[in-house]
Structure 1
Amino acid sequence: MTSLTSSLVRGAVTSPFKHPGRPGATLPTDRLTLPAAPAAPGPLAAYRRICGFPAPESGPLPLPYLHVLAFPLAMRLMTGRDFPLPVVGLVHTWIEIRSHRPVQPGEALEPTVYAAELTPHRRGTEVTMVTEARVGGELVWESRSGYLSRHATKAEAGAKAEAGAKGEEGAKGEEGAKGEEAQAPALPAVAEWRLPGDLGRRYGAVSGDRNPIHLHPLTARLFGFPRAIAHGMWTVARCLAEADEQPGELRSVRVDFRAPVLLPATVVYAADPAGNTFVLRSESSSGSSSGRGTRSGQVHVTGSVTRAS
């Protein structure tokens, strides 16, 4: 946790000196690795509780937990001087996790993190970060995450120019079509969760991720949010804890982050009958002192899982 906090501070200092979108930008080739060690029982139990996973001492690690253990490594890499994107404002857009076999709490895990690729995005530049975990040299778990650095692009400028040429009504129609394309599948509600305003602080204490946007309305407003927002990886974990109640061991997941969850909030987890495709959406509108709030029915997360046969 100390390592993660120092990386957040370093990121705040170095971000103003980085210029996303500059031609010829390259990623560092470093691979950062932690010494092999088992998961600490206390933090693991606290993680299970706050994310809704059952707490059998002998059960395998929750599918997303290794991402939390290795996240300080990723932050150390992304806040380094040779990393081309500013970490302040970096948006986690998607994550894919794959377990090659169940990982037991007592196994000595060796996590490794590296930056895989830098790709143009219509709203900026996206970096793919890879995390791998090995036990005795055997690859047992891996994840890939997309992080978007927003900046002006030719594609975005061209879209604005085209919208201006079409006129206001044409622009509205095009945006509506895009919205329909991005709609999540219509799935039946399975559970409703009321998320407290201090959820970000509680999860931050467990995960070590004390990004100001998650901690308090005042610190979140400094970054353009009307209230604190839930951690994206908490939403992933909470959805997987619900999906894990269905038969079949979870082996992989793909999650796309659509919109932040403003805290406090009431959200609905919806899924197909087998629990293999899911969405997290808002149940009701919640206002804010700034006049901005979460729309009723707004989709925050879409995801799908595969299970062991």
Structure 2
Amino acid sequence: MPEPKHLDGEPGSLGTLLRAALPVVPGVNQLPGIRKGPASAFTGLAYAREGVVAERSRVDAYAAVCGFPRKDVVPLTYPHMLAFPLHMAIMSDADFPYPAIGMVHVENTITAHRAIAVGEALDVTTSVGAPRPHAKGVLLDFVTTVTGEGATAWESTSIYLRRGRTIDGDPAPGLMVPDAPTGGVEWRLPADLGRTYAAVSGDANPIHLYPLTAKALGFPRQIAHGMWTKARSIAAIENRLPAAVTVEVAFKKPVFLPGTVAYAARRDDAGWTFALTSPKDGSPHLLGRTR
């Protein structure tokens, strides 16, 4: 893996979003600095941010949107907000062979080694290696490490699917969550949830914002962010989780907004198993487990 590049500019700025969109614009996508290189030549890329502070106002705003209580430590999923600008920087880099638009977040694993205090200064690094084969295209593993007080405090792996031509090799099986619970409490999600979450996360992908912008990218109307569904699911059991924990989820069917989902969680000897499903037919939107 090459040495990390350092993120320049304000994370989540309009410029970052424009750079992410330009590689799908015909003609513009052939300009130097925008044109993507061949996937066969890509071996890896990394970006880093140093001294990033988990600010009280931003942590509280995020917690309120995702259903976490206000505490002096950040919610389990919050460090993803610090890493997301690095995800976007990698996807917007000309050396990364795939446009950001069209990347589908299919799985996410978070490991917290300890609680992170609000106001703590952190170093954040995200790296991605060569693509892996998938039946519908390729998978890319975005691996994030958050360091504080000289040691790793938090880690995550976000797996993105890029649909299209695959590569040689045998696809690895995805996350399996057998016997996940169904039914449970119903959550009614408002039409503006995607815009509300975008405001606190910086993830303003058009598929989450309005019916018109979602339709332009092939969806009948806007959909909820996958990481919101994970955060909200964890918030429902966060007071029963230890400070050091791993939470794995697979994102299945999109959650259309406005909409209603059912949340259920079950504890066993290994940890918690939980799911977001359709109240109509029990089909899964998200399957998860802790350990």
**TM norm structure 2:** 0.84
Contact 2:44/2:130 (<8 A) preserved: no
Could you tell me which residue of structure 1 aligns to residue 40 of structure 2?
Answer: 24
Summarize the Cα distance change of 1:153–1:34 in structure 2 as closer, same or farther, 3 Å threshold: closer
Could you tell me which residue of structure 1 aligns to residue 230 of structure 2?
Answer: 236
Could you tell me which residue of structure 2 aligns to residue 3 of structure 1?
Answer: 11
Alignment of 1:186-201 (within 5 A): 186-201=180-195
**106-115 or 227-236, which moves further after superposition?**
106-115
Could you tell me which residue of structure 2 aligns to residue 102 of structure 1?
Answer: 115
Give, in angstroms, the shift of residue 91 of structure 1.
Answer: 0.3
Which of 200, 204, 208 is the aligned partner of 1:214? 208
SS in structure 2 at match of 1:201: helix
Contact 1:191/1:269 (<8 A) preserved: yes
Q: d(CA) in 1 for partners of 2:260 and 2:58?
A: 27
Which of 47, 51, 54 is the aligned partner of 1:39? 54
Give, in angstroms, the shift of residue 190 of structure 1.
Answer: 3.7
Give, in angstroms, the shift of residue 97 of structure 1.
Answer: 0.6
Q: What's the RMSD between the two structures over aligned residues?
A: 2.4
Which of 257, 273, 279 is the aligned partner of 1:277? 273
Alignment of 1:139-150 (within 5 A): 139-150=152-163
Q: d(CA) in 2 for partners of 1:192 and 1:152?
A: 39
Give 1:13's aligned amino acid. Answer: L
**Deviation sequence 1:189-243 (CA, Å, 0-9, x none):** 4421100000001111111111111000010000010010000110010000012
Q: d(CA) in 2 for partners of 1:204 and 1:303?
A: 23
**Percent of pairs with identical residues:** 42
Which of 7, 17, 22 is the aligned partner of 1:13? 22
Could you tell me which residue of structure 2 aligns to residue 256 of structure 1?
Answer: 250
Could you tell me which residue of structure 1 aligns to residue 4 of structure 2?
Answer: none
Contact 1:27/1:83 (<8 A) preserved: no
Q: d(CA) in 1 for partners of 2:282 and 2:189?
A: 16
Uncovered stretches (5+) of structure 1, i.e. residues with no partner: 156-181, 285-295
Structure 1 moving runs of 4+ over 3 Å:
15-20, 152-155, 247-250
Contact 1:189/1:271 (<8 A) preserved: no
SS in structure 1 at match of 2:50: coil
Give, in angstroms, the shift of residue 134 of structure 1.
Answer: 0.6
Q: d(CA) in 2 for partners of 1:153 and 1:26?
A: 14
Summarize the Cα distance change of 1:131–1:197 in structure 2 as closer, same or farther, 3 Å threshold: same
**Deviation sequence 1:121-173 (CA, Å, 0-9, x none):** 11001111111111133111111111111004489xxxxxxxxxxxxxxxxxx
Could you tell me which residue of structure 2 aligns to residue 300 of structure 1?
Answer: 285
SS in structure 2 at match of 1:48: helix
Which of 129, 132, 142 is the aligned partner of 1:119? 132
Which of 130, 136, 152 is the aligned partner of 2:149? 136
Could you tell me which residue of structure 2 aligns to residue 54 of structure 1?
Answer: 69
The structure with the largest strand share of the pair is 2
Could you tell me which residue of structure 2 aligns to residue 88 of structure 1?
Answer: 101
Contact 2:266/2:272 (<8 A) preserved: yes
Summarize the Cα distance change of 1:52–1:23 in structure 2 as closer, same or farther, 3 Å threshold: closer
Give 1:101's aligned amino acid. Answer: R
Give 2:151's aligned amino acid. Answer: E
Could you tell me which residue of structure 2 aligns to residue 293 of structure 1?
Answer: none
Larger-Rg structure: 1
